[in-house]
Amino acid sequence: MVFAKIQGSGASKVKMIIDSDIDEIYENSTVSVEKLLGKQVLITGAAGFLGRYFMSLFHLINQRHPENPVEIVALDSYITSSNTEDQSWQRTSPEIEWIFGDASIGAQLPNKFDYIIHAAGIASPEHYRANPLETVKVAVDVTRSLLEKAKIDKSRFLFFSSSEIYGDPYPEFIPTDENFRGNVASRGPRACYDESKRMGEALCWIYENYFDVHACIVRPFNVYGPGMMPRDYRVLPNFATALYRNEPLRVYGHGRQTRTFCYITDAITGFLKVLIETEKPDVYNVGNPEPELDMATLAKLFSEISKSNEGFELVKYPSSYPEDEPNRRCPNIKKISTELGYKPKVDLNDGLARFISWSQANYTDELTN
């Protein structure tokens, strides 16, 4: 069984999913995207999962407003990014300048940016365990250099932190709001990611309070959707890889650890609200608090939606994956909902169906081996 085969042929249908997602963000969003018109934007991690959605949205905005386009400098090192779709417009559009290299290059550019989106990072546990120093560098050193650029240019700055900064929250702090200070280990295989993101947040606070930089922070909670590649190695790409191979889904550990999941269109809407509409710098959770599922239940739901008959199995954590993962993670989004009108719209069943259809048409033998 392959979900994409049941649903119809690959490329055109899959392109419709991506295009529909971008249209959904543009048409149904409550974000004032017109504030981006005629502005200069620097985005790091532009070829990554989140970055590509930003880039696709900017492209659509420019198509709709050719007389006053968003001017974009797109940075990516391709350390963890991969791009399987034909997005040649990104290479040829006159409003987009692509720079392939270290994200710190952005601080050296002569452009005067109105917005800086620092979305670069090594977010997958397998990747940051394999690249701990690079993980720290992009969250700390690069963040500081880009904040310096924001100080000089008077840019609005958006730092992509993570729900990982909360560590393993105590039960009384779940759902977790922005005031929880965290239950985080400063040593261990996850520390390079968790602690570097916390330091990145500290730098944002310093530049806000000492240098008057409008530096906002988002803490994403398990964002997913089309664009997540097999070598991401997080739970949903792992499930999609097993589905592609006609194998049982693999759930690490006991399967009782719980998460909530936020579809990419809802997440991008939240990020844009924080970037564009905040009156003062602040920090916001971005996610979907419902439903909170344990991983065994998630595997059953994934199998049901994909019509897989392979089931799932509990397996030991591979040596490449940090075992000390949080037991529960669920966001309290009252702050962003109250202040910025953020409300997730895509339910989990719908979001999983879109991701499954996209993954089964885009995953290949080469990518999944």
Other Cβ atoms less than 10 A from the Cβ of 11: the count is 11
The sign one gets for the Cα dihedral 139, 318, 186, 182 is positive
Other Cβ atoms less than 10 A from the Cβ of 210: the count is 9
332: which residues sit within 8 A by CB, 6+ positions away? 175, 176, 177, 178, 285, 289
The DSSP letter of residue 141 is I
DSSP-assigned letters across all residues of 296-348? HHHHHHHHHHHT--S-EEEEPPPTTS-S---SEE-B--HHHHHHH-------H
The reply to whether 284 belongs to the active site is no
Q: Which of 53, 115, 166, 193 is catalytic?
A: 193
| CA contacts within 13 A on the Cβ side of 177 | 7
Greatest alpha-carbon span in the chain: 58
Contact 113, 40 (CB under 8 A): yes
Q: Find the length of the chain.
A: 369
Tokens at 363, concatenated: 């995953």
132: which residues sit within 8 A by CB, 6+ positions away? 192
Positions marked catalytic: 193
